[in-house]
């Protein structure tokens, strides 16, 4: 098991009209083995770019990412992804989706089957293996996505707004599930979200990013994820220190948004 080291990462895009966008500028961060880190920020702050670089889908213009002593140069099975939605293979049953990684690796059928059964149990989908994924609700589909990712036993799980498309009630349940999976498997998890509450609940560490250029603006160590495992997340949300943090971060993001608005008004 290994740390995920992000060193002096910069990402600059050129636009067709000749101007340049600095999606990321000099971002450095080390994520320890087994940590759960949430990344928050207004749109355009480069958080999705950062995640894509961690996954290996994008090559940064400067800097590097290393998982342990291996540099990240492309996607591979050491870093699993969970997307917002629509990333399941709808031509496969639920069980085939979950077993996709091991099947591609050429594992034995019996081994895959028992692994898939165990994972469906873990995410609360026992008995749904033969269903088509499009017969499932949005929340259940995300459970399948989580199980599919775990089936491959990655070292790091990267989540790109995994609960973003769910309704508030389902979302709350799924937050509990993410915490449970984190505790049970001991995986390193990096989670991107728009929701301040979610970032506070699911991050042992919370990174707030700022836009133009995309950079790390603030960093917090939080007790809520540890406390929240197996607990009622609503009770945690009612803690005074939780609301204090939430207000502080909302204020911070609000100011960033104001600044962007102000700047673009000047520009036009």
Partner 1 sequence: MTLLAIYVALLALIWALTAFLSLRIRQRDGFTTRKTVTFGDESAVRPSRVASVASVLVIFLIWGAFTGSAWTFIHAPAEWQMRPIWLPPPENVWHRLISIANDGYRNFTLWEHLSISIWRVLAGFFLGALVGIPLGFAMGLNNFLRGWFDPIVEFMRPVPPLALIPLVIIWFGIDEKAKIILLFLAALWIMAIAARAGVAGVALSKVHAAYSLGASKAQILRHVIVPNALPEIFTGARVAMGVCWGTVVAAELVAAEKGAGFTIMVASRFMQTDIVLMGIILIGIIGYSIDMAMRTAERFLVPWKGRG
- Residue numbers of the site for partner 1 (CB under 8 A)? 55-57, 74-77, 79-81, 83-84, 86-91, 100-101, 104-105, 132, 134, 145, 148-149, 152, 154, 158
Q: Which is nearer to partner 1, 13 or 254 (CB)?
A: 13
CA 23 and chain centroid, separation = 18
3-state percent helix, strand, coil for the chain, nearest multiple of 5: 40, 25, 35
Identify which of residues 119 and 253 has a Cβ nearer to partner 1 in the complex.
Answer: 119
State the Cα–Cα distance between residues 54 and 72, nearest whole angstrom: 7
Please report how close the Cβ of residue 245 comes to partner 1 at its closest, in angstroms.
Answer: 31
79-82 and 156-160 strand pairing: parallel
Can you list the alpha helix ranges (DSSP code H) found in 79-223?
94-98, 100-104, 109-122, 138-151, 168-185, 196-202
Return the number of the residue (156 or 174) whose C-beta is nearest partner 1: 156
Taking the complex as a whole, how short is the minimal distance between the CB of residue 268 and partner 1, in angstroms? 31
- Give min distance, CB of 196 to partner 1, in A: 25
Q: Nearest distance from residue 229's CB to partner 1, in Å?
A: 26
CB of 95 to partner 1, least distance (A): 15
Instruction: Provide the 3-class DSSP secondary structure of residue 73.
Output: coil
- Residue placing its CB nearer to partner 1 in the complex, 45 or 98: 98
Q: How far is the CB of 230 from partner 1 (least distance, A)?
A: 29
Helices 138-151 + 109-122 axis angle, to 10 = 130
- In terms of CB distance, is 89 or 254 closer to partner 1? 89
Let me know how long the chain is.
268
101 or 213: CB nearest partner 1: 101
Burial of residue 91 (CB within 10 Å: 0-12, 13-18, 19+) is exposed
Closest CA to 155 of 186, 183, 112, 193: 186
């Amino acid at each position: 098991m290994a740390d995920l080291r992000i060193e002096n990462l910069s990402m600059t895009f050129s636009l067709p009209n000749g101007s340049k966008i600095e999606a990321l500028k000099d971002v450095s961060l080390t994520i320890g083995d087994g940590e759960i880190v949430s990344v928050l920020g207004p749109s355009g702050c480069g958080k999705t770019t950062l995640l894509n670089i961690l996954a290996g889908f994008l090559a940064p213009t400067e800097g590097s990412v290393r998982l342990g002593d291996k540099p990240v140069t492309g996607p591979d099975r050491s870093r699993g992804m969970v997307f917002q939605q629509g990333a399941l293979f709808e031509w496969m049953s639920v069980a085939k989706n979950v077993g996709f990684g091991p099947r591609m690796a050429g594992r034995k059928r019996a081994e895959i089957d028992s692994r898939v059964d165990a994972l469906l149990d873990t995410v609360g989908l026992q008995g749904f293996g033969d269903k088509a994924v499009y017969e499932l609700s949005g929340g259940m589909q995300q459970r399948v996505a989580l199980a599919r990712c775990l089936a491959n036993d990655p070292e790091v799980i990267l989540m790109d707004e995994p609960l973003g498309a769910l309704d508030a009630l389902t979302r709350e349940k799924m937050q509990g599930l993410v915490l449970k999976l984190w505790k049970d498997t001991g995986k390193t998890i990096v989670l991107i979200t728009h929701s301040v509450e979610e970032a506070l609940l699911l991050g042992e560490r919370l990174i707030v990013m700022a836009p133009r250029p995309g950079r790390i603006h603030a960093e917090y160590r939080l007790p809520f994820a540890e406390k929240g495992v197996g607990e009622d997340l609503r009770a945690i949300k009612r803690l005074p220190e939780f609301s204090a943090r939430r207000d502080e971060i909302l204020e911070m993001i609000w100011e960033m948004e104001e600044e962007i608005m102000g700047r673009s008004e000047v520009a036009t």
